[in-house]
Chain A
Amino acid sequence: MPKLARFNSPAGLTDPNAEAWSTRVRGILAPYLDGTRPQFYDPTKKNTPANTPDPMVSWVAFPASLRAPSQAERLRLADNDRTLQDEYCEWTVARRGGKITCVTFTTEVPEYWEHLFDTAPQRLLQLYRKFVHPRVQLSDLRRANGRYRRESPWNTSTPGRLMHLIQGNNTLGAAVDLVANATVLRIKNGELVTNQQELVRCADLGNPFRHSDPQIASAVNVAASQGNEITLADPPGLHLGRPLTAGMVTPDGADAAKFWKIERGDAERTLRARFEVPPNRGYVVGDIEIGGRPVQHGGQIAQRVQVWVKVLVKKGSHAAQPRPCGT
């Protein structure tokens, strides 16, 4: 593959202003292409040979670093506060009569919604009305300075339906920063740092006790240690895997895998999906049991949902130039 003509929109969704999105992504990558990270590259500026491997890096959607006195409390806290959902995946829960009816997951980065606001505000509004609430107004989504309001009341509540990621670390910029900086090898006490948490701490790559940061950093760093060049696979973004539904017990014996409905993207690159039982079955998500207990928290599903990103690993011959921790 020669140079990528442009970055595609998330999951390859149709976007009449795709060039503008690509420019925005280039802008996110640009600060990391100053020569200090020679193994990170922009595929729109450098060739990527055909058949370049693009391994998948995956992790669990439920926040690993969330601590609480008990598992039930962890689940409750995570459900009730999007700022705690820091694994590049957020979810909201809809209930009826106290029982969960629907859990909606998203990995859509806020940068893309800013792009939509800037280039196609009516399209943005349509999407909000379709996926969040028909009463959303464009003015609700505009800040006083005229810019896009990521954290409008329509997209911050935890009950109901969310639109896109809002947690401070759940951005494309953060993912790019992590991948770019993880291409730098690290050395400590004369030995290459290879363990995930140790690497994150050594290179200041985020929270060592999250699922996502150590996992991405490690996969990138191992590839870099073999002299390769690395970047995010196109279209750049975070994606949802299907939930691990084996062992979920449904009242009618149905396979709970059927209840995962993709709302944006496709089976290969899912950006948004909901876990909901079709009405004709006569029961709801809250009637499904996991490990003998009914689903009472969206987090119980989130513990079984994986988030993933793909990185391009272009064959290279960079000599290892490890840097000490903290530099």
Chain B
Amino acid sequence: MPDETCMAFDSVAPFNPNTLHRFIVGADPAPRAMSLAEVKALGDPFASLLLARGIVPRSGEEVLAKIKAAVPANSPLKQHSSFILGEGSQLASTVESAAVDRTLRFVITVGTGPNGPDLMLSVPDPNQPNLIELMAWDRKVGGFNYYRSTGDGAMWMFAGNSRDALRDASHRKGVFESHRSGAPVMKELKTPWINWHSPAANIPDTAFAANDPRRTHDWFKNKEPGGGLTFEFQAARPAMSRWAKARFAKLRKSGGTVTRPRRFMEQILDSPAVNLITTHVESKALTPTVQLDLPTTFFVDSEGLSDILGLVAPPAFTVTGRIYAKCLEKFNVRMDDGDGFRIKGDTHFCFLVPERGFEDQVVLREVVEMGLVSRRLAACLLMVDPWNPIFSDRRSALLRHVPVTATITNGKSTFSRDLAKTILAAAKIAPAGTPEKEFATRWNTGTGFAAAFNKLLTGYYGAVAAKLKTQTGFEAYFRLAEHRRQEFRDRTRLAEFPLLLPHTNIPAAKRRMKQDGSVAGG
């Protein structure tokens, strides 16, 4: 069985490092040399400015230097910004933490504009030849072209275009194991951008060993002061939106057939992309009276239901530091690098939990705006098990009803009606308590669904707020958070580093939030 994970790039047989090889995992059994014509067909700046001209950079630093050398003075590609992140970046510099791998790495963006940068690369060391992850916007066909380097001499592989993320052969394989819909990933997308250097948490030079040359490297010394904030707004969000727009551009403009509607419906009904979010309270600054601002998306898909579909927004959910601290003690919360370093307490910012990925929200907005999915259908689907905004098996079970194709003409599509009909037909013969029955109940509220849904949500918000006032109420949510983190570990390839998530003594169990704000599953 060939390795079809993102690790596949690290075990390829050596090849000529002066030739770009194509290795779209799942579609290609092994890397194969690309002809010059194939390289020239790639429409991104990395290929067109460097590789197609026989220029092969051997490190991240060289990529940047050679791109800048290849463009005129007024080109946006002369501009770069550097960012740094690392799961151990906020550990205090102590004797105990001296040997910990803080997994520090740089992210470089090249080019600026309303659509974000044209090129991004990520690498732990500016001078290393391998493990460079590079993505660059293809102006010919749209989407990002993904590249990976491996080996001591920087053997470059073209790992696919965003569109390959949606093709059956390469879906969720290779680089698309983490870039599931083809979009760039910023796991910690939102304030306070845990693990990123940001206004909320600096990464000081002491995060590097005293003799680490990265400590004085330009990428570190002149890193973007806004860090995660700047990357979120100038790079990650625009890049995800750019791909979503390009993905549906043709359908928006001239209509046509969607060959794999399941792909975008997965992004609505399932949780293929995941972001990580925390409160804004440092775990070391926890005091009994502080109010922790719990992420609302832990409780409800507020971005999908409220921001996009206009249903009632949740209130601010908070819990006191007193209650939270007791959970840390009771559940023996600790950080553990798996290599002998262990420290009591939570992640740098308290209560790290997974939430629905922004790239999936962008797609929801796109398909609703273009008329492929009606607002009513979207609301009724997301109101199936809305108490579990992420990793809901009940909601994802409805994927079985998605038709194999969909068409859209002049902004009108029968897709929503057809899908609703299919689910309603299944609901007629389905036993009570099934997601189909739940959908039917939602659908039968009619076109004035908003008032009914708002009532349901408001009742739920009130129930949650009441639970948050008690120790036992919040402990159930703490256990649910641990379950969701476990799901995140199991379902995605994004839990790559041992210091990303906290460890607890909470036994593994399937846990689900219920409408009354209680948690099933212990």
Binding site for B on A (CB under 8 A): 56-60, 64, 67-72, 191-192, 194-198, 201, 208-209, 211, 214-215, 218-219, 222, 241, 244-250, 253, 255-257, 291-293, 304, 306, 308
* Category for how many chain B residues contact A: 35 or more
Which of B20-28, B227-235, B482-490 is the contact stretch?
B227-235
Inter-chain CA distance A293–B313, complex, in Å, is 15
Instruction: Name B225's contact: one of A68, A191, A218, A308 (CB within 8 Å).
Output: A308
B18 touches A (CB below 8 Å): no
The residues of A that contact B229 with a CB separation of less than 8 Å are: 60, 244, 306
Name 28 A/B residue pairs within 8 A (Cβ), A-sorted. Answer: A58-B226, A67-B293, A68-B316, A69-B316, A192-B92, A194-B93, A195-B284, A195-B285, A195-B348, A196-B201, A196-B202, A197-B285, A201-B285, A215-B202, A219-B202, A244-B230, A244-B233, A246-B114, A246-B115, A246-B233, A246-B237, A250-B114, A253-B114, A255-B114, A291-B237, A292-B308, A292-B365, A306-B230
Other-chain residue from A67, A197, A291 in contact with B316 (beta carbon distance below 8 A)? A67
State whether the Cβ of B170 lies closer than 8 Å to any Cβ in chain A.
no
Decide if B238 touches A247 in the complex (CB within 8 Å).
Answer: yes
Contact A69 B315 (CB under 8 A): yes
Residue B419 at the chain A interface, CB threshold 8 Å? no
B327 to nearest A CB, angstroms? Answer: 19
In the complex, A212 Cα to B114 Cα: how many Å? Answer: 27
Nearest-CB residue, chain A, relative to B358: A291
Q: Are A198 and B284 in contact (CB under 8 A)?
A: yes
In the A-B complex, list the 5 residue pairs whose CB atoms are closest, starting with the nearest. A197-B285, A244-B233, A247-B238, A58-B225, A59-B199
Q: A69-B315, A222-B202 are in contact. Are A293 and B285 (CB under 8 A)?
A: no
CA distance A197 to B237 in the complex (A): 27
A306 touches B114 (CB 8 A): no
Q: Chain B, 217-244, contact with A by CB distance < 8 Å: what is the 0/1 string?
A: 0000000011001100111011001000
Say yes or no: B293 contacts A246, CB within 8 Å.
no
Which B residues form the contact surface with A (CB < 8 A)?
90, 92-94, 112-116, 191, 199-202, 204, 206, 225-226, 229-230, 233-235, 237-238, 241, 280-282, 284-285, 287, 291, 293, 307-308, 313-316, 348, 365, 369
In the bound complex, do residue A195 and residue B282 qualify as a contact, i.e. CB atoms below 8 Å apart? yes
Contact B282 A196 (CB under 8 A): yes
Q: In the bound complex, what is the Cα–Cα distance between A249 and B202 (angstroms)?
A: 31
Does A304 contact B199, Cβ atoms closer than 8 Å? no
Given A195-B285, A197-B281: A215 in contact with B199 (beta carbons within 8 A)? yes
Q: A194-B92, A246-B233, A292-B369 are in contact. List 13 more A-B contacts (CB 8 A).
A: A195-B348, A197-B284, A198-B285, A201-B287, A222-B206, A246-B234, A246-B237, A246-B238, A247-B115, A249-B114, A291-B237, A304-B233, A306-B229
Check if B280 sits within 8 Å of A247, measured CB to CB.
no
Q: Which residue of B lies closest to A201 (CB)?
A: B285
Closest to B115 in A: A246
Given A198-B284, A246-B238, A291-B307, A58–B114 Cβ distance below 8 Å? Answer: no
B199 touches A60 (CB 8 A): yes
Expressed in whole angstroms, the Cα–Cα distance for A191 and B365 within the complex equals: 48
A247 and B237 contact, CB distance less than 8 A? yes
- Residues of chain A within 8 A of B316, CB atoms compared: 67-70
Chain A residues with CB under 8 A of B116: 246-247
- Whether the Cβ atoms of A57 and B225 lie closer than 8 Å is yes
Q: Shortest Cβ distance from B415 into chain A, in angstroms?
A: 21
**Is the Cβ of B281 less than 8 Å from the Cβ of A245?**
no
Most buried by B among A64, A197, A248: A197
Chain A residues with CB below 8 A from B225, complex form: 56-58, 306, 308
Chain A residues contacting B280 (CB-CB under 8 Å) are 64, 209
Give the distance to chain A from B224, nearest Cβ to Cβ, in Å: 9
A270 CB, min distance to chain B CBs, angstroms: 15
**Chain B: which residue is nearest A249 at the CB level?**
B114
- A218 in contact with B114 (CB, 8 Å): no
One of B94, B200, B241 near A247 (C-beta < 8 A)? B241
Nearest to A57 among chain B residues (CB) is B225
For the complex, give the distance between the alpha carbons of A257 and B116 in Å. 12
The answer to whether A293 touches B114, judged by C-beta atoms less than 8 angstroms apart, is: no
Say yes or no: A71 contacts B202, CB within 8 Å: no
Docked Cα-Cα span, A39 to B308, in Å, equals: 51
